[in-house]
Amino acid sequence: MHHYLDAEELTKALSPDIPVLLNRPHAARRAARYFVDQFPGKALYAVKANPSPALLQLLWEEGVTHFDVASIDEVRIVRATLPDATLCYMNPVKQLASVREAYREHGVRIFSLDSLEELEKIELGTELAEDLTLCVRIRVASEFAEISLASKFGVDVDESAELLQRARQRADCLGICFHVGSQAMTPLAYVHALERVRTAIVGASVTVDIVNVGGGFPSIYPDLEPVSLNHYFTAIDRTFEDLPISYSAELWCEPGRALSAEYSSLVVKVERRRGNELFINDGAYGTLFDAAHIGWRFPVRQVGADAENGTTTGFSFYGPTCDDMDFMAGPFVLPDDIRAGDYIEIGMIGAYGSAMRTKFNGYGSSEEHDVTDEPMASLYVGDNLDRSDRDNVVSFPSA
């Protein structure tokens, strides 16, 4: 694979007619080191965000040893790529055959669940194994997150006592986990959720060995600029330390977006301009699923344009398929004189971008190249790093 400095150098050299993913291994390594060094516990990478074997390998090299897998295919991918990794099967609803294969063939010993039926399935699939770590997922609010994950999984805290007690009897290690939603914009999301964990533990009168605060750690996007992750880590650590848990209990988290978003950007070509609408060669059925279906605004720039001069316009995008739903409303702010034949770089696409790509309508092909420039935004450099604030209290959201 040829390495380029940036999108401009690549487009001048290749004049690509299909979308190109620009991967920044140095950015993902930096994010991994940050979580490994700064989070006051163990960080599990949420593989669903980006299952690229190359990304998995570099996260492993930087000290990420545990991986949150949500399907038997993810189990197979990670095990084939990283034979010594610890796999945590954190989907609370699994197929019996998947539990059996994960346990017998891939050495999975860590499972999540949110019902007695799932506990019975795990017991059956592992043949009443005595070396299991079971993490009961409780339901918490997603009020501080941009994308809610509060409806599908999780046992209500008020109904969790029997499940926790039964899981405690079966488990070698018992954990409680939750998910505050994707792109949580304040540390308060975790503080409130951990208070729900406290209620569940007291109600069930069980000894808990692991508290897993899940994912939701944010990245930087237009109009979404979170406080330093240090504030999140401090708030989580202080609340965790005050829980009624085992003296040796471990603190876990499951970052996906925060570890992978800065890894990739996307270069697309403008095929047509119609007023303030740009027809590009990737879209809703490809790497830009989130931009279309949940209205996510990614940072954009015209490749080779002078960002400091000229007027700008908010554009919407149409993707290449023959479907009207292949539409991304934006607005994506670009130079007013952009036209067919120009290239656009779309940043922060490493989380969920390539993972959501399909071949609908015959599209979906792309190239990948490594680049050495910095991502369009980063939580891990400059003022955003803010390591000195580890001793400060949690930042509260503005009214």
Closest Cα partner for 386 from 275, 230, 202?
A: 230
Contact 17, 364 (CB under 8 A): no
Per residue in 142-189, pLDDT (tens digit) is: 888 788 878 889 999 999 999 999 999 999 999 999 999 999 999 999
| 51 vs 109: CA distance, rounded Å | 21
Do both 168 and 41 map to the same domain?
yes
Q: Which pTM was predicted?
A: 0.92
Percent of the chain at pLDDT > 70 equals 96
pLDDT in tens, 315-341: 999 999 999 999 999 899 999 999 999
Domain termination site, one of 207, 241, 260: 260
Residues 277 and 248 in one domain: no
Helices (H), 144-250: 161-170, 188-204, 229-241
Residues 308 and 329 in one domain: yes
Tell whether the model's pLDDT for residue 57 goes beyond 90. yes
Q: Would you put residue 324 in left (φ > 0), alpha (ψ -120 to 50) or beta?
A: alpha
Range of the domain at 344: 3-22+262-371
Query: Which CATH number covers residue 180?
Result: 3.20.20.10
| Run of H or E including 355 | none
pLDDT of residue 387: 45
Per-residue pLDDT at 308 exceeds 70:
no
The fraction of the chain above a pLDDT of 90, given in percent, is 83
Distance of CA 205 to the CA centre of its chain: 33
Would you place residue 395 in the very low, low, confident or very high pLDDT band (cuts 50, 70, 90)?
very low
pLDDT tens column, 126-147? 999 999 999 999 999 888 878 8
Distance CA(43)–CA(85), nearest Å, equals 13
- My answer on whether 130 and 251 are in the same domain is yes
Assess if residue 106 is contained within a domain: yes
Residue 362 in domain: yes
Identify any residues that bridge with 97 across adjacent strands, giving them in sequence order. Answer: none
pLDDT at 391 over 50: no
Residues contacting residue 211 through CB under 8 Å, at least 6 positions apart? 175, 176, 177, 194, 197, 240, 243, 245, 249, 250, 251, 252
What's residue 319's pLDDT?
A: 95
Residues 100 and 164 in one domain: yes
Q: What pLDDT was estimated at residue 399? A: 33
* Residue 122 to residue 116: CA distance in whole angstroms: 10
Domains of the chain: total = 2
